[in-house]
């Protein structure tokens, strides 16, 4: 689940074609930026994003069917009747499917009321459950106590979800703080990936994995745009956050020093620059063969590495037995998948 900003969109545009069938990006559009539409047209072949415009005014000009590119509408439980009709039209025009996003913190009705809400969606959008992916958005999970409280709530919601024949079911959460400005500078800071820990505790249910990339799940969070050169580097179970003020005011010197420190760290991947497009760009800066870049570039490199790391982790045999790999709605041949009852799982959202 990515903010529709230049950095995140640039990372998607540089995805390896091998990864695109395993990824289902959900773009959260908060402004009518023409760059978003341009970037959607440059995505790798086969990568069809889901688009959430709930933050935009409910008006004809925000109807996704008018965008003219393949996409999947994201539908909330409290959308207006008019927007539900528009989302249904977009689904039928492009992919004949939609994502229903159920926010754990906001959509807190009981099971019967939730059923009534999704039935209203299907009625106005003229969709059936088999055409809909259910995205259970657990929101901000920032500590061990959050994981402990959130897990049983998600399990209860997933028990409700078994009443319906969803196309797939995902659970997504975000673990990064909404602001990083209070973290120390000029040294890597380790932050636990509590969202990953939550999904590990739920993986026995066979649901798809989702997160907020290297962004925060807190609405209105002031990131990833830090004034200082900043990198959020994903590893197993943690992020390493680099905020660099060293070497005075010259941005190119600071970024080069930051990248040199990162590529010499124990968590730099064995594959090095070949691990992802983002890692390649980081190594170029460490060697001073390219300029410092901008906040958008730093977000793009961090997001690119994050996507590659998550997909590499989910490919490991230890996870294959929990949530099987799916391509084009079918399990990969020769591998045993364990989908949520009534639907199919995808690897990462």
pLDDT of residue 36: 83
Strands of 238-243's sheet in order across: 189-192, 238-243, 230-235
Residue with tokens 């933050």: 55
Other beta carbons within 10 angstroms of residue 177's beta carbon come to: 18
Whole-angstrom CA distances from 322 to 39, 192, 193, 208, 325 are 34, 22, 19, 10, 10
| Gyration radius of the chain over CA positions | 20
pLDDT of residue 247: 61
Give Cα 198 distance to the centre of its chain: 15
CA distance 115 to 69: 31
DSSP state of 36: H
What are the start-end ranges of the H helices in the chain?
Answer: 6-13, 34-40, 81-94, 111-125, 144-161, 194-202, 251-263, 277-286, 295-315, 317-320
Residue with tokens 């999904």: 199
pLDDT of residue 222: 55
b or e along 304-326 (b: 16 or more beta carbons within 10 Å of the residue's beta carbon)?
Answer: bbbbbbbbebbeeeebbebbbbb
pLDDT of residue 336: 28
pLDDT of residue 342: 40
pLDDT of residue 296: 92
pLDDT in tens, the chain (349 residues): 999 999 999 999 999 888 888 899 999 998 766 678 888 888 998 899 999 999 999 999 899 999 888 999 999 999 999 999 999 999 999 899 999 999 997 777 788 999 999 999 999 999 999 999 999 999 999 999 999 999 999 999 999 999 999 999 999 999 999 888 889 999 999 999 999 999 999 989 999 999 999 999 987 665 544 578 999 999 999 999 999 987 655 668 899 999 999 999 999 999 999 999 999 999 999 999 988 889 999 999 999 999 999 999 998 876 544 443 322 332 222 222 333 334 444 445 6
- What H or E segment, with its residue span, contains residue 50? strand 50-52
Please name the CATH architecture into which domain 2-323 falls: Alpha-Beta Barrel (3.20)
pLDDT in tens, 288-316: 998 888 999 999 999 999 999 999 999 88
CA distance 305 to 301: 6
Instruction: Note whether 267 and 286 are within 8 A (CB).
Output: no
DSSP state of 340: P
Domain boundaries of the chain, sorted by first residue = 2-323
């Amino acid at each position: 689940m990515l903010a529709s900003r230049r950095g995140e969109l640039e990372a998607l545009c540089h995805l390896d074609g091998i990864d695109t069938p395993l990824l289902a990006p959900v773009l959260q559009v908060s402004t009518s930026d023409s760059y978003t539409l341009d970037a959607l047209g440059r995505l790798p072949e086969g990568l069809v994003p889901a688009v959430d415009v709930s933050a935009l005014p409910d008006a004809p000009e925000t109807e996704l069917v008018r965008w003219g590119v393949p996409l999947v509408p994201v539908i909330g439980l409290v959308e207006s009747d008019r927007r539900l009709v528009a989302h249904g039209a977009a689904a039928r025009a492009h992919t004949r499917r939609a994502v229903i996003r159920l926010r754990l913190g906001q959509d807190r009705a009981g099971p019967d009321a939730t059923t009534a809400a999704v039935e209203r969606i299907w009625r106005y959008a003229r969709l059936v459950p088999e055409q809909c992916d259910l995205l259970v958005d657990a929101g901000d999970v920032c500590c061990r106590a959050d994981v402990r409280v959130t897990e049983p709530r998600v399990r209860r919601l997933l028990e409700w979800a078994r009443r319906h024949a969803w196309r797939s079911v995902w659970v997504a959460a975000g673990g990064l703080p909404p602001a990083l400005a209070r973290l120390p500078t000029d040294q890597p800071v380790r932050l636990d990936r509590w969202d990953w820990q939550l999904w590990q505790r739920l993986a026995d249910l066979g649901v798809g994995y989702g997160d907020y990339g290297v962004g925060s799940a807190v609405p209105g969070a002031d990131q990833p745009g830090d004034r200082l050169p900043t990198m959020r580097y994903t590893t197993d179970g943690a992020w390493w956050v680099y905020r660099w003020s060293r070497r005075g005011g010259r941005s190119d010197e600071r970024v080069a020093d930051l990248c040199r420190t990162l590529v010499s760290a124990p968590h730099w991947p064995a594959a090095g620059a070949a691990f992802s497009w983002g890692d390649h760009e980081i190594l170029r800066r460490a060697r001073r063969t390219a300029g410092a870049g901008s906040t958008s570039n730093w977000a793009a490199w961090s997001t690119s590495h994050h996507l590659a790391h998550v997909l590499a982790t989910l490919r490991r045999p230890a996870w294959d037995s929990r949530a099987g790999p799916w391509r084009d709605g079918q399990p990969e041949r020769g591998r045993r998948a364990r989908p949520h009852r009534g639907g199919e799982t995808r690897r990462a959202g």
